[in-house]
Amino acid sequence: MQRWLVASTVTLSAIVLLPLAVVASSVLSIDVDLWEHLFSTVFSDYVSNSLLLALGVGLGTIVIGSSLAYLMVNFDFVGKSILSWLILLPLAMPAYIIAYTYTGLLDFAGPVQILLRETFGWSRGDYWFWDIRSLSGAIIMMVLVLYPYVYILARTAFAEQSYSYQKVSELAGYTRWQHALKVSLPLARPAIITGATLAMMEALADYGTVAYFGISTFTTGIFRTWFGMGNIQGAAQLSTVLCMFVLVLLVLEKHSRRDASKFQSREHAGAQRQRLKGPVAMGVFLLCLLPAVFGFIIPFLQLLSWSVQYASVGDLSDFLGLVKNSFLLAFAGALIIVALALLVSYAKRITGKRSLKYSEQMLSLGYAVPGIVIAVGVLIVTGWADKAFNRFTLEWFDYRPGLILSGTIATLIFAYAIRFASVALQNTETGFARLPQKLDYAALSLHGGLFRMFRKIHLPLLSASVISALLLVFVDILKELPATLVLRPFNFNTLAVRAYELASDERLLDAALPAISIVIVGLLPVIFLTRQLNKSSV
């Protein structure tokens, strides 16, 4: 049974990793001329901008995500139940959409600056205004939509902190804030870092926002090298360098939580909540509302007003098809990917095999690789498989079925698995880590078998992690663009594809309706799953 578990996990991981390996194999033949050119011109920009972007997004999401989580877990105040799902809404907002929306508002040619100029009679150069299309702007846009990654994980971590720690702090004379900073926060650190790592990886892989803002990062460099110079090999090499960065990030992350499980237990979980009243409660409510206001409500209303003004009814019939495609694709993808993640994490837990630890870490890499690069890896691999299969059938049955993988939904989900396995894995990993090992010993002593133990014991205890994994992968697929664009079957469109095509043609007003639909489709599971999360995690 164990051997079977290991074998199937390693095989599955290897299949998922194959496209990344194809990309990485590009380093075997270095194009010296290209690299000389890159080093002498733009490479240092790529490195510094990418690092600053990731760093900024990491810090921003940590500050916002963990303070929100702390407030939500430790205090009771009016309006908290609304907040519990408002806070998650920015998850449904693609970063490039929020970037387009805020640019429309805050740019030099936007209504805010025009109003300022008209009111005060200024013209260009008379005043200073923050340039949203800058590195700081990109960081803020991404923090606004990515902080929920930290929030979700930190919230569970805070909620599961033993009540006895709080008692001990009280005995030691710590105030509530001292307890928060000196005890709670360090205990939740591994979860917070994990969330921030996800956010940073997403930031590194982003193309839409940085391209629109004109910032040179690794991702824009990959696109330039491939599309501009027609050098796909060079683009793959740049992606591999990016992967190296991420590998370092992942090792640091693993290192930071090396002895994390020691102090976490579900016994006496749940700190005692303090009830807030009056202006303090109001203040905390408003503070917690801010990220949702900027990350969701303002852009949502802007998109809504655009779609109401400019959407024509003729679009709507065609529209339901887009909604259906997007929803089914994201749902099926999320189920498959979370199942894969559970398998890997479970196999690792049961056997403790080193090979599984590595395969898990490698599986996480895909999250930081731009979707388009993954798409190319997938194309090459499915192309081989299709050709081999056709050679086989031709030889044995004198029949050529044509493409059976390329251009199918299955291939698309395959690409999503590479890209988003990390999101699911981080959740299942931290989930499993919180379950004490003695649970397994007790269960196994009853001779229930590995599968039965998983189904009867682990899965119910993991429900919070599984739900948040499903939720995150779902919205990620919903928003995913470059891989969907290239790999999809004929005549198959999704909301993200439609929104992007219009937005990239700078038809922002027309793009508003599909964009807002992505958000709405993403909302349904967010609301449903937060309810589950509220039930199961507290």
Sign of the dihedral through C-alpha 67, 73, 79, 85: positive
Q: Which of residues 22-61 bind other proteins (CB under 8 A)?
A: 37, 41-42
- What does each C-alpha distance from 369 to 20, 214, 242, 372, 486 come to in angstroms? 9, 20, 7, 8, 15
Q: Which of residues 317-346 bind other proteins (CB under 8 A)?
A: 325, 328
Which position has the token pair 């979980």? Answer: 269
Identify the residue among 252, 489, 520, 534 touching other proteins (CB under 8 A).
489
Identify the residue among 482, 514, 522, 525 touching other proteins (CB under 8 A).
482
The answer to the question of residue 103 lying near other proteins (CB under 8 A) is yes
**Which residue's CB is nearer to other proteins, number 310 or number 319?**
310
Residue 4 corresponds to which tokens in the numbers above? 């079977």
The answer to the question of residue 12 lying near other proteins (CB under 8 A) is no
Identify the residue among 223, 327, 367, 474 touching other proteins (CB under 8 A).
223
The answer to the question of residue 492 lying near other proteins (CB under 8 A) is yes
Residue 185 corresponds to which tokens in the numbers above? 């926060």
**Which residue's CB is nearer to other proteins, number 147 or number 327?**
327
- What does each C-alpha distance from 376 to 107, 236, 404 come to in angstroms? 35, 9, 17
The answer to the question of residue 409 lying near other proteins (CB under 8 A) is yes
Distance CA 488, CA 242 (A): 26
Piece in contact with other proteins (CB under 8 A), picked from 58-66, 88-96, 266-274, 507-515: 507-515
Identify the residue among 98, 180, 375, 499 touching other proteins (CB under 8 A).
375
- What does each C-alpha distance from 495 to 125, 146, 153, 330, 522 come to in angstroms? 40, 20, 28, 11, 11
Distance CA 511, CA 503 (A): 5
**Which residue's CB is nearer to other proteins, number 170 or number 505?**
505
Piece in contact with other proteins (CB under 8 A), picked from 110-118, 186-194, 269-277, 362-370: 110-118
Q: Which residues contact 116 (CB under 8 A, 6 or more apart)?
A: 122, 127, 129
Residue 515 corresponds to which tokens in the numbers above? 């964009």
**Which residue's CB is nearer to other proteins, number 190 or number 407?**
407
Report in angstroms how near the CB of residue 399 gets to other proteins at its nearest: 10
Q: How many residues bind other proteins (CB under 8 A)?
A: 72
The answer to the question of residue 456 lying near other proteins (CB under 8 A) is no
Q: Which of residues 257-286 bind other proteins (CB under 8 A)?
A: none
Contacts 24+ apart (CB under 8 A), 77-83: 77/275, 77/276, 77/277, 77/281, 77/284, 77/285, 78/281, 78/282, 78/285, 79/285, 79/289, 80/285, 83/285, 83/288, 83/289, 83/292
Q: Which of residues 130-149 bind other proteins (CB under 8 A)?
A: 131, 133
Q: Residue type at 478? A: L
**Which residue's CB is nearer to other proteins, number 335 or number 509?**
509
Residue 124 corresponds to which tokens in the numbers above? 């260009």
The answer to the question of residue 187 lying near other proteins (CB under 8 A) is no
The answer to the question of residue 352 lying near other proteins (CB under 8 A) is no
The answer to the question of residue 315 lying near other proteins (CB under 8 A) is no
The answer to the question of residue 402 lying near other proteins (CB under 8 A) is yes
The answer to the question of residue 504 lying near other proteins (CB under 8 A) is yes
Piece in contact with other proteins (CB under 8 A), picked from 188-196, 357-365, 399-407, 428-436: 399-407
**Which residue's CB is nearer to other proteins, number 120 or number 441?**
120
